[in-house]
Amino acid sequence: MGCSTIDSLPECCPIFPIFWSSINVNSSPGQILTLLTSPSLSVIVSNLANLHSFPGRLSVCGGEAGNVQWIGVPGEIRGYEAAHRLYGKLPWADLFQPTIKLAREGFPIPYYQGQHIPRINNTSIRKLYLDKNGNLLKTGDTVKFEKLADTLEMIANEGPDVFYNGTIAKNLTSDIQDAGGNLTRKDLELYEAKVTDAWNISLGEYKLLILNIMKGYKMESEPKTTDEKILFYHRYIEALKFANELKTNISDPNFSSDEMAKKLTQDSFADSKRSLISSDKTRDPGINLYLDSIGTTHVSVLAEDGSAVSVTSSINDESIRLRVLSPSTGIILNNQLSDFCGRADSSLLRPPSNMAPSVLKSPSKTLVIGGLALMNHLWFGKSLKEAIITPVVLVDSKSEVKPEPKLEKDVVDGLEALGHKIAKFYNTVNAVEKAGSCISAWSDERKKGKAAGY
């Protein structure tokens, strides 16, 4: 029978169900969910808001990101169901077996996770990482998630409805309400994954959604000297600041016009913003009201039938502070509704996302990617490995510039001299590409990742 990239997702994605997800799929006939050839479809999976339960909270976000009332409906299972219905080949139950096996029998704790386990101060979550003598597990030790294995097995055998309408829904909402949250069985029952048309945006021979501001600088080669690197990163940072300012203009298209969102993709709009970027100083972008949303898992998959999947998932990094592990299901809950901070109160909206998993198509290539390496690969001709290991920068909601530690000190000093506020940052990304008959892949070594094939 064979399998498609969709069939790989429950196996490839993390051992904890991470429940805000964007799934982009390119099927073999040329159809793409989300990106970017016609006809286009998009499965956008997010958390159905329960804001009617706590009106006014959006005006007092601040340090409340860990509040249990920010828990939204976990949407990833419905998203996988929709994608599998469209393009899956294997039986639904088969998709979960590798993950169930890992959760039940255990696996060695990887290096990166091992470094963060001592930072977990939540009692219920910390218990997951204790051995039989009460000692905290460390890198290389075997960790098991047997209650989660039971939950995944139930979803595999009984289908997605058991999560949203059945036993799991009952147990999950009971656990959340016992912890002081507001999520109800009705919220789960009403949840739907949305399928929408994607936009077709051209970037050279590729079709993409963003980077129009940087495209206007017509860079023909990567920056080599210190001054060239400072100018490149400075312009890129300024472009990111504009993007941050505009985030609050984007909201659930089911409840608002998409006029502003479409405007953001127009060359003329990018030209107007680029004209405001000075080469010798930064500008004060003002105050952004939204909270930073960080902490994602990304998987890029390419199958022999030509299908490709790019999926990014998150529970928000603050969720370890959320102090909610559902004891009856083994699921760590999200705090995704805090993404509404800085926005008007409403009900039934889906929260905005910073995630942009991408499937890029040109006449000769398919690129599946989920991060910040696009310019290095597409414009500067770097291999996937070189593009991914090149230092990147992030700009947060406070307009602080967060370069990776390995970015040259002279470049960082130069950016600071232009007026940028510098802080620390850690980034990972992975990608797979097919060019003609040649396939290449790279998984970020920052987390000791490795690409895998068959």
- For the segment 144-155, what is each residue's pLDDT rounded down to a tens digit? 999 999 999 999
Separation CA 375–CA 382 (nearest Å): 9
Structural element, H or E, at residue 20: strand 20-26
pLDDT digit string (tens) for 249-292? 766 666 667 677 777 777 888 889 999 999 999 987 765 555 56
Six token digits for residue 233:
């990163």
Pick the CATH number of 204-287+371-435 from 1.10.10.10, 2.70.98.60, 1.10.246.130, 3.40.50.970: 1.10.246.130
pLDDT in tens, 206-246: 444 457 888 888 887 889 999 999 999 999 899 888 888 87
Beta-bridged to residue 332, according to DSSP, are: 325
SS3 44: strand
Bridge-based pairing state of the strands 400-403 and 421-422: parallel
230 known member of a binding site: no
Q: How far is CA 22 from CA 258, 310, 358, in A?
A: 18, 8, 10
280 marked as binding residue = no
Q: Which residues pair with 435 in a beta bridge?
A: 365, 438
pLDDT range class, residue 129, cuts 50, 70, 90: very high
Indicate the helix (H) or strand (E) that contains 78.
helix 76-87
Note the pLDDT tens digit of each residue in 398-451: 788 888 888 899 999 999 999 998 887 666 677 788 888 888 887 777 767 778
pLDDT tens digits along 345-398 = 555 566 666 666 777 777 778 887 755 677 788 788 888 888 888 888 888 877
Say if residue 133 carries a ligand binding annotation: no
The active-site residue out of 99, 151, 282, 296 is: 296
The ranges assigned to domains in the chain are 5-197+294-358, 204-287+371-435
What's the pLDDT at 38? 21
* pTM for this prediction: 0.79
Rg of the chain in Å (alpha carbons): 22
- Chain segment 39-71, per-residue pLDDT in tens: 223 333 433 344 444 445 455 454 544 567 778
Q: State residue 320 phi and psi, 5-degree precision.
A: -65, -30
Distance, CA of 434 to CA of 365 (rounded, Å): 6
Contact 382, 222 (CB under 8 A): yes
pLDDT band at 167 (very low <50, low <70, confident <90, very high): very high
Torsion of CA 208, 212, 286, 289, to 10 degrees: -10
Per-residue confidence (pLDDT) for residue 299, from 0 to 100:
79
Question: DSSP per residue over 346-365, as a string?
Answer: -SSPPPP-----EEEE-SSE
CB-CB neighbours of 235 under 10 Å = 19
316 assigned binding-site residue = yes
What share of the chain in percent tops pLDDT 70?
68
| Catalytic residue flag (residue 282) | no
Q: Give which of 24, 135, 137, 37 is closest to 82, Cα–Cα.
A: 24
Token pair in block for residue 304: 């022999």
Q: What is the mean pLDDT of the chain?
A: 76
